[in-house]
Structure 1
């Protein structure tokens, strides 16, 4: 990046003028006192002397100041790595210190912002690696423990062998689930998310998710239902598979954190500008206000111990957010601790 400073001669002009006035006056006084020359010849001499001295002083001062600033500023840039040496302008630069100060201040501000950004990213990277290792460690140790137990002799007991192999299988399933979610969210963040846009009935899609999760909800006697009877189809535009994953993740969360004998209710409402909003509401644990801004971060859990006991990768809501934003839509969350939560997102409606 080349630095274009405006060129100015103000400093050299003034400095040369001061030198010329002083030197000409000084020489004139000395000549008059010592030599007492002819007044006309003295005036002509002083005029020629002043012009010559002014031009010489101007050229020397301008060159020296430019050379001095160029060399010193270039060294500063090189030392602090503001610019690569190859990108520094190979020409005269300004003696206008206001311009120079403004440009250096701009570089300093940009670098400070860059450093702060890098610090945030580094902190995020450390937290992410810590979360990944923690999530993978639990199922890995579980699988390893059961396999070692079988190798130590439990394999000869048919009952224990079957039970431990089934538990090891669950650990492997959770590992696969976490790795698949990590792979998916990495593709999302790299922009490698190919949406297959199509028209589909959002009511039918939600009902399919209810059917898939019915047995899971029955374990806690949670009722899955619509808030109204939707007798007509509501056609929307989106990637059917991805939107089904969004609805599934939201309903799974409502079951996971729902109360025994509770409910999960889905509502679909018309909005302006050919939009619909899909609401997933429950009467579960609810979320404390300070945790809401971080809900969609990767691996963020409100209740870390309880959430891990329930299983899951900790990436569900982050995946939901990426899918909805890839559709250029919005996702919202409202929650009251101890009362329940409502997650909602918008989609384009087809008339």
Structure 2
């Protein structure tokens, strides 16, 4: 076992002090007192001197090192002093240096994370401000036009009221989505878990989105014919929302005359993996880590042209995590995207 450096220092310091003390004692006894000390007495004396010298030196070294390091900690205001108390005192300089380095790196990472979150927070506030401001100003503009006299023209008033109503609908959609995310984050949303057939749910969502897909001539397909149901346990309404949001995204950003393919397969024994794959424009790698953030848009101009609250993928992620499941994404620019999520499989299936 490697001897710690301060122990080694204390040992040799004590050894030299003991030798010097023993030599001084021998000289004093022989020349001044003119007596011979017995070997046993000399050995006992040397042992006592060595032991106490070693303990005193080692203790003082530990206290010295600890006090100096604590002073360094105290001098850096951003460091948490409670972290120092959690770490055992060591007199090994190498170990202590590694601990301090590790501690400093941990704090630097925390600072980077805080700066990153602050950047996300500012961006989020800017995004939500923009998302709310646009429909609000639209509604206000149409209503002011009507107040200024346009209401007298029946055709214009009807057209403007319909446009204002669309703006209100978008505001309601954003507020509802934000409320849903808040409930999911605070675990305030009660999930009504029950068995259901995932294949049937996918087909139902296909029917629901058939007209939207036809506008871009995108085919909604299953990867194969499923002879038997794929029974899972979960909140069917929430999973419907997950599939709807993912398929709507694949339609919005899919290639015209393209396809959206849904597949289901067993995953790690007790799970089913549902995949939503398109052959659209795809997502660049540097965007993948942020696509589940609220209001984050890969292409700002294209996304707002397509409409939506900008909260779809964030809602998907929260719903999946509320079921204690996982969501994955694979994508390359101009090669399409694949979103997949797990669901708990019903045991007898």
Q: TM-score normalised by the shorter chain: which range applies?
A: 0.7 to 0.9
Question: In the superposition, relative to structure 1, how do residues 11 and 291 fare at CA in structure 2: closer, same or farther (>3 Å)?
Answer: closer
2:135 corresponds to 1:121: no
Q: Secondary structure at the match of 1:300?
A: coil
Task: Give the whole-Å Cα distance in 2 for the aligned partners of 1:336 and 1:96.
Answer: 51
1:335 CA drift (Å): 4.7
Name the Cα RMSD after superposition.
4.1
Q: Which residue of 2 aligns with 1:3?
A: none
Larger CA deviation: 168-177 vs 258-267:
258-267
Task: Give the whole-Å Cα distance in 2 for the aligned partners of 1:106 and 1:272.
Answer: 36
Deviation track 1:294-335 (CA, whole Å, cap 9, x = no partner) reads 433433323220111111122212322333344344444455
Report the count of equivalent residues. 339
2:35 corresponds to 1:40: yes
Q: Is the 8 A contact 1:150 1:161 kept in 2?
A: yes
TM value normalised by structure 1:
0.74
Question: In the superposition, relative to structure 1, how do residues 110 and 159 fare at CA in structure 2: closer, same or farther (>3 Å)?
Answer: same
Q: Which residue of 1 aligns with 2:291?
A: 295
Q: Secondary structure at the match of 1:40?
A: coil
Larger CA deviation: 115-124 vs 229-238:
229-238
Q: Is the 8 A contact 1:78 1:85 kept in 2?
A: no
Task: Give the whole-Å Cα distance in 2 for the aligned partners of 1:296 and 1:86.
Answer: 33
Task: Give the whole-Å Cα distance in 1 for the aligned partners of 2:288 and 2:48.
Answer: 77
Q: Which residue of 2 aligns with 1:146?
A: 142
Alignment of 1:11-160 (within 5 A): 11-12=9-10, 14-19=12-17, 21-22=19-20, 37=32, 39-40=34-35, 65=61, 68-81=64-77, 82-84=79-81, 88=85, 95-160=91-156
1:256 CA drift (Å): 1.7
Q: Is the 8 A contact 1:11 1:95 kept in 2?
A: no
Larger CA deviation: 62-71 vs 113-122:
62-71
Q: Secondary structure at the match of 2:35?
A: helix
Extract unaligned runs of 5+ from structure 1.
1-5
Question: In the superposition, relative to structure 1, how do residues 41 and 229 fare at CA in structure 2: closer, same or farther (>3 Å)?
Answer: closer
Q: Which residue of 1 aligns with 2:158?
A: 162
Extract unaligned runs of 5+ from structure 2.
none
Q: Which residue of 2 aligns with 1:171?
A: 167
Q: Which residue of 1 aligns with 2:339?
A: 343
TM value normalised by structure 2:
0.75
